[in-house]
Structure 1
C-alpha cells in the first residue's frame, strides 16, 4: 500500500473583532462568494507562518497568535487530496486593504449566515464556531463534519 500522495496545502482564517468577523468576497470564478481570507502553504513553510503571510497579503492585517481550530479535506479534479487548515485570530494590527482576491467586509455571524457564501462554505462554518468539531470532509457524496 502506498503511503504518500499528492496533496495541496492551504489555510483560511476567521479574524474576529468583537462581534464582527472579516469576510472576503472572492472574485475567483472557480470559487466565488463570501469566505474567510487565506491561501496556499509554500514549500517548506510552517502552516502557522503561512496563515500569517496570507492574511497580510490579502488583507493588509498582521495577525497575532492564530489558533488552529480544524481542517477541511476534499479531492480535486485530479483526485488529489486538498487540505485547508482553519484558523481563528482575535489579535491583529495594521490597516485593512483589499487585494486582487476580492473586497473585504466586517460582518456579524448572523449576517454571514444570510449572505451569498462560496460553494459549501456554509458546511465549513460550524468548524469555526463549535469547539466540539474539528474536521469537514467532502468526498463524492460524502459531506461530513466531525
Structure 2
C-alpha cells in the first residue's frame, strides 16, 4: 500500500481471474528478497520507486490443489518517480473511505484490516476459515 498524505494508490486490475481494485503488487522471483520484489513490482506496475517499504502483515491461502500461498503486505510512504500505468491496469489515488465504497478484487476487503489496524498482522483463508489475527 503506497500512500500520499491521506490518499492511497490503487490499481484496477485487468486480470479476468482477479478483477477489481487492489494494491499494486506481484510475485517474488527466484533468489529475490521480499524487499527487492516489492520495490521491483511497484516500479513495474506504477513507475514509482518506493523507499523503506515496511512489512505490516501476511496472508495465507490455499489453491484447489491444496497448495499454500503466502502474500506479504507492505506499506510505503516515501517514493519518487512519475506515476505511469502498466498493462496490469489503471492507477488511481483515493482515500480510505473512497476505496471501501468501490468494487474491490475478490476478498481484498478482508485484507484491508491488516493494513489499517496495528493490532492485526495475519489473514488466513483456507476454505474452512477466514480469520484475521
Give the corresponding residue for 2:54. 67
Q: Which runs of 5+ in 1 are unaligned?
A: 1-13
SS of residue paired to 2:2: strand
Runs of 4+ in 1 over 4 A off after TM superposition: none
Give 1:96's match in structure 2, choosing from 83, 93, 114. 83
Shift of 1:76: 1.2
Give the corresponding residue for 1:108. 95
Give the corresponding residue for 1:79. 66
Q: For this pair of structures, how many residues does the alignment match?
A: 133
Give 1:142's match in structure 2, choosing from 106, 129, 132. 129
SS of residue paired to 2:58: strand
Give 1:130's match in structure 2, choosing from 117, 120, 131. 117
Give 2:38's match in structure 1, choosing from 37, 47, 51. 51
Give 1:120's match in structure 2, choosing from 100, 103, 107. 107
Give matches, 1:25-44, under 5 Å: 25-44=12-31
SS of residue paired to 1:24: strand
SS of residue paired to 1:132: coil
Q: Deviations over 1:21-46 (max 9, x none)?
A: 00000010110000000000001100
Structure with the higher fraction of residues in strand conformation: 1
Q: CA RMSD in A?
A: 0.5
